[in-house]
Amino acid sequence: MVDAHGKVRVAVNGFGTIGKRVADAVAKQPDMVLVGVTKTRPSFEARRAKEKGYPLYLAGGGSAADFAAAGLPIAGTLGDLLSKVDVVVDAAPDKVGRENAKLYKDAGLRAIFQGGEKADVAEASFNALGNFEACRGKRTLRVVSCNTTGLARAASVIVPRWGVDHWEVTLVRRASDPAETKKGPINGILPTFHLPSHHGPDVRTIFPELSIATTALVVPTTLMHVHVNHVRLRRPPVDSKEVLAALAS
Domains and CATH numbers, the chain: 8-114 (3.40.50.720), 146-248 (3.30.360.10)
Q: Which residues are catalytic?
A: 146
Question: 83-92, 115-124, 181-190: lowest mean pLDDT where?
Answer: 181-190
Percent over 70 (pLDDT), the chain: 94
Mean pLDDT computed over 113-127:
95
- Give the pLDDT mean for 105-113: 97
| Strand ranges in 40-123 using DSSP code E only, listed in sequence order | 56-58, 76-77, 87-90, 110-113
- Band (pLDDT 50/70/90 cuts) for residue 225 is very high
Neighbours of 162 (CB within 10 A): 17
- Between strands 164-174 and 212-219, the pairing is parallel
**What is the average per-residue pLDDT within 22-30?**
97
What pLDDT shows up at residue 186? 63
For residue 121, CA distances in Å to 14, 199, 232 come to 17, 16, 32
Give the pLDDT confidence of 60-96 residue by residue, as tens digits.
Answer: 888 999 999 999 999 999 999 999 999 999 999 888 9
Q: Is the pLDDT higher at 152 or at 221?
A: 152
pLDDT > 90 fraction of the chain, expressed in percent and rounded: 82
User: Which amino acid, 165?
Assistant: D
What does pTM read for this prediction? 0.86
Q: What share of the chain is helix, strand, coil (3-state, %, to 5)?
A: 35, 25, 40
Q: What confidence category does residue 189 fall into, taking pLDDT thresholds of 50, 70 and 90?
A: confident
The pLDDT assigned to 180 comes to 65
Q: Give the per-residue pLDDT at 206.
A: 96
